[in-house]
Every structure is written in C-alpha cells, then in structure tokens.
A and B are shown apart, each in its own frame.
Chain A
C-alpha cells in the first residue's frame, strides 16, 4: 500500500498507508489526521478536506477538475497547489506523497 505523509497545521507529520483506489481523504480519515474533516464524505460539496500538495509532488498529482476547482473556491486560503483530498485517488505512483493539511473549519 502506498504511504502518504500528512503534515498537519501544527507541523506534525502523520504517515498513512492508503490502498490504491481509495481517496487521499479516506486515508487521512482512517489514519485520524487532524484537520481533514470531510463533512460531505467525499462528494466534492464542502471543501473541508482541503490540503496543499507538496511542491515536489504537485506535477505528478495534477490539478483539480472543473467541479473541484469550483468547490475549492469555498476553501480557506486557497493556493496554487490546493486540492480537495477527496478528489485525489491513490495509485501506485503516489508512494511517498506529501500533503500539507489546510485550515478547515
């Protein structure tokens, strides 16, 4: 299972094994990563699973599609590498992915 490192708002890192096919958000929830709230359960409706893809990974992970892009407009402090983690599906190439949790409330 690919490993993902989440860095929370306090700078603490959390390593999660996330099965391919699950979303990065689901992995964060399973691993109890603080700050990933995901109140809509991955329906791309709430933006409370917002995070920043680490600069080194941004190209590989890619940007949001149209609906995610729109939903990201609701997120706090949107930046260049903002993504909704419920819209990133784990795949083998994401082994070692680094994600910085955004301020979700």
Chain B
C-alpha cells in the first residue's frame, strides 16, 4: 500500500494529514513528531496560556481519538534522524526505518539562542513549545523583575502578560525601535507607547553583552555598561528554521528548506511546508520565509496537493495577528519593498490602519483594533491592491466599498 510520511507534528504537519484525507487519499499516513504532545497551537503560549487562563489540553488542535478516525499513525516523542531520498526511507531515533512513497518535511523552527556568557542560567527562558511555556509560566509566579530580551512579537506579548501579572518588566531591544523588521516606524511607536503606558520600560539600541548570575539576581549587562537586575530573563530574538535533516539529505536549503510554489523541495517526491521553508508564493516576486499560522496551513494544503500529484500552486495572501493587552494587531500582506504609506485614522486607542504601498498598489496593511479594516484589506490585497490612496485615508469611506 502507498504510504506517505510527514516529519513534524505541528500545525503544518497536521494540516498535511487532514488535507491528504480530505482529498481522498486512502493509503497509510505516518505523522512523526519529536514533541511529547499531540499537535497543539503555539499562539496561546504567549497569550492566554501564559496568563494561566487555559490548560494544556485546550491547546490541542484535535482530540486524541481524531487520529484514529483519520487513520493516521501518530508517533509522538519520536525524532527522525535521517532521510534517505534514494531509498525512500526515514530513520527514527530508536533505529527503525520507515518507507515512504511521498515525504513531507514540516519540521518548523527553533528559537535562536542568545550567545552571551550566562545564557545557560536556569533563570533564562525561551518560548517555542508548551514545555517552555509551562516553565516560563511557573517562573513568572516566582519572579518580581522580568527582563525580556528582544522587542519582537513574542517578546512584547510576554511583556504584556508579565505586566498583567503585576511584575516589573523591562524590554531590551538591539535595534532603534520595537518590532523593527516587521512594521513601519509609526506602528513601532504605537506599540512602544502602549507598553510604556502599561508601565514597561523599553531600552532601545542595547546589545546584551552578558548575563551575570548571583544568588539573588541574574543581571543583564549591555555593551554600553547598563546593568539590569532580573529574577527572570526571557529571550525572544527570533527563530532558526529546522533544516538539518533536509541538508543532510542533500536537499537545497538557503536559510530555510527551499521549495517552489508547489511546496516541492529539490527532490521530486519530497515536499515541505510551514516555518521551515523558504518558499515561493505566486503573489510575490521574491521567495521568503514566514512564521505564521496562515502560512503553515495554506502551504500545507499546497504540499498535500503535490503529494497527491494534483498540484495547486501557493497563491494565498499572508496574514498574522498579535494580541497585547487589549490591542489586537492584524497584519495582511508583506510590506517588504513598500515605497509609501497611507495612514487611516489616528494612531491611538480607537484604532487605525497603515497601508503599505508599492507604486500604486497596496501590498500590506497593519490594522490596530480595526478588524473590519483588516478583513477588507485581505480582500483588497487578494484582488491586486489597486486603490485610490485618498479614499484609503478617508475614514468616512467604508473600505468595503473600495473593493467593488
């Protein structure tokens, strides 16, 4: 019988399985993941879960019985250690081998380590998996002073939760603004003020040089000599795609497993999807790597279609969200390469949207507490993004009407 094997039981891996079955594949499926938990959601790990509002059980994407119903062999706590592309096998950590007709790599990403002295101290936390989140949640219960290293989404979400828990929070960011790589400066300013307004202290342009342990503190030292004593340090400085297996198997990698618009790697029978890929999306000229639920799911659907020899190209508009305090940021598109901005509304508590334009096209939109504008923007970008900038900026024009 035909057997398809998926490495990585995260959001992308699970979606590949679901799509294979939905499209009628009736052969064997093995979903292999090295984490102990059945596939679960990561976004709440830096939101509700960290706040203690939901249990780990509520993170699960599917009830355990679901895998039986789907007819998938779910192997947890099992690491794949090698792929033999010529023999069509994978080797599992305990030594056994599994044959495959089609193979999918959905290995995700892991956190980037802070390469400074003291970074191995047990008071240093990272956040990727549910075990990290549980350790961090418990750590926060004991802490009074928290230092977050990295002013990206995860760092800022953790900072917001730590403030909600009543802790003293400082954020140390190496660049000159928070969220430096992903949003326009005025959006960074909005989030900066949001956090300082909630009592967070943000230190910009500060490179961490060392973490100095003592009995009653772990002191963060920056390169300019600033010292910040902490009870707990959270490092959120980005992730690295898990490409080692693919590289060892001779698949093309370039800061991500390289795949085309059909999620095909450089091997015709191996696909890849999710955080681990540097991929082509027909809506964009250049390949990129994304870390988002949308990408994991939409690219997984493409990968499944390719595994079934009925390939459908990837041409979905990327979207993302982040929750901090009572603010919901929703993003759509990719702003890289924009040459002008249109701001709709006034940055502040009532919400606003920022439209990133390239020539006369809107290529990305960030909406802050403006869900209707976000949803209209998704449609606008999917339709090519052509739109009169004056009407975009005019809050008396209903965005929905711009789509007609």
Which residues does A use to contact B, with CB under 8 Å?
22, 26, 29-32, 37-41, 43-46, 66-67, 69-71, 73-74
Question: Which of the residues A30, A32, A38, A70 comes within 8 Å of B371, measured between beta carbons?
Answer: A70
Q: How far is the CB of B47 from chain A (nearest CB, A)?
A: 8
B62 interface contact, C-beta 8 A: yes
CB-based nearest A residue for B59: A41
In the bound complex, how far is the Cα of B59 from the Cα of A22, in angstroms? Answer: 12
Task: Select from chain A the residue with minimum beta-carbon distance to B373.
Answer: A70
Tell me what chain A mostly uses at the interface: helix, strand, loop, or mixed.
Answer: loop
Nearest CB on B from A9, distance (A): 12
In addition to A31-B63, A38-B61, A74-B378, 6 A-B residue pairs with Cβ atoms within 8 Å of each other are A29-B62, A40-B321, A41-B293, A45-B321, A67-B371, A71-B375
B59 CB → nearest A CB, Å = 8
Q: A30-B63, A43-B43 are in contact. Are A73 and B375 (CB under 8 A)?
A: yes
Chain B residues, Cβ within 8 Å of A46: 293-294
Q: Does B141 contact A (CB under 8 A)?
A: no
What is the CB-to-nearest-CB distance from B293 to chain A, in angstroms, rounded to a whole number?
6
In the complex where A67-B371, A70-B371, A74-B378 touch, is A41 in contact with B61 (Cβ < 8 A)? Answer: yes
Count B-side interface residues using an 8 Å CB cutoff: 31
Report B's interface with A, CB cutoff 8 A.
Answer: 11, 15, 18, 41, 43-44, 58-63, 65-66, 69, 293-294, 297, 319, 321, 323, 328, 330, 371-372, 374-376, 378-379, 400
| Given known A45-B319, A67-B371, contact A40–B378 (CB-CB < 8 A) | no
Contact B41 A41 (CB under 8 A): yes
| Cβ contact of A41, chosen from B15, B44, B328, B330, cutoff 8 A | B44
CB contacts (< 8 Å) of A74 on chain B: these are: 375, 378
A40 to B298, CA, bound (A): 12
Assess whether A71 is in contact with B371, with CB atoms less than 8 Å apart.
yes
Residues on A with C-beta less than 8 A from B323 are: 43
Contact flag A32-B375 (CB < 8 Å), given A26-B58, A43-B43: no
Q: Which residues of B contact A22 (CB under 8 A)?
A: 58
B330 to chain A: closest residue by CB: A45
Q: In whole Å, how far is B352's beta carbon from the nearest beta carbon of chain A?
A: 15
**Chain B residues closer than 8 Å to A43, beta-carbon distance:** 43, 321, 323
Asked if B372 contacts A70 (CB within 8 A), the reply is yes
Residue of B nearest to A72 (CB): B375
Q: Is the CB of B43 within 8 A of A40?
A: yes
Which residues of chain B have C-beta atoms less than 8 A from A70's C-beta? Answer: 371-372, 374-375
Bound together, the chains give a CA A69 to CA B375 distance in angstroms of: 10
- Assembled-state Cα–Cα distance A30/B60 (Å): 9
A32, B63: Cβ atoms under 8 Å? yes
Rounded to whole Å, the gap between the CB of A41 and the closest CB of chain B is 4
